[in-house]
Amino acid sequence: MPRQRRLRKIVAPPKFQGYKPYGNNDYSTGSIDLLYEEYEAIKLADYDMMKHIDAAKLMGVSRATFARIYESARQKIAKAFVETKEIIAVYGNAEFDKNWYVCNNCNSRFTIPSTINEQKCPFVSCSSDNIELINK
């Protein structure tokens, strides 16, 4: 039986489902799965410029585990760049503070405050009720 993996705390899911290279007509290059926690590690370390020790605390993992997640994320992104592969954002072992939803109509990601009962996309131009909980 596979070892139960500890969940990694994520502040917010990525705002995209994936990335696609352009300018290359070879469609056989395939794709790479980037886990939500890998996205979060890149965001915290390289976008928010957070120290690894602080980022590790925020994600509820040891510094060594954070370093592994971060290294894996960088290798995947480098591979995708060099080999012109698509990047697909996948759920992985993420845990959120709040319930996050995705709208199947406009692909936006959002939370619904507990004070609101209505389960629909908050974007006025959309308002679709075809929404799905991301947290599993």
Which range in 32-40, 48-56, 58-66, 113-121 contacts Zn ion by CB under 5 A?
113-121
**Per CB under 5 A, 134 contacts Zn ion:** no
**Per CB under 5 A, 128 contacts Zn ion:** yes
Look-up: residue for tokens 């959120």? 96
The count of other CB atoms within 10 Å of the CB of residue 85 is 19
Report the C-alpha dihedral over residues 13, 132, 77, 6, rounded to 10 degrees.
70
Look-up: residue for tokens 């020790």? 53
Which range in 20-28, 72-80, 82-90, 116-124 contacts Zn ion by CB under 5 A?
116-124
- Separation CA 71–CA 6 (nearest Å): 18
Q: How far is the CB of 48 from Zn ion (least distance, A)?
A: 27
Pair 35, 94: CB distance under 8 Å: yes
Chain positions 71 to 110 lying near Zn ion, rule: CB under 5 A, are 103, 105-106
**Per CB under 5 A, 121 contacts Zn ion:** yes
Q: How far is the CB of 129 from Zn ion (least distance, A)?
A: 9
Residue ranges that bind Zn ion, judged by CB under 5 A: 103, 105-106, 121, 126, 128
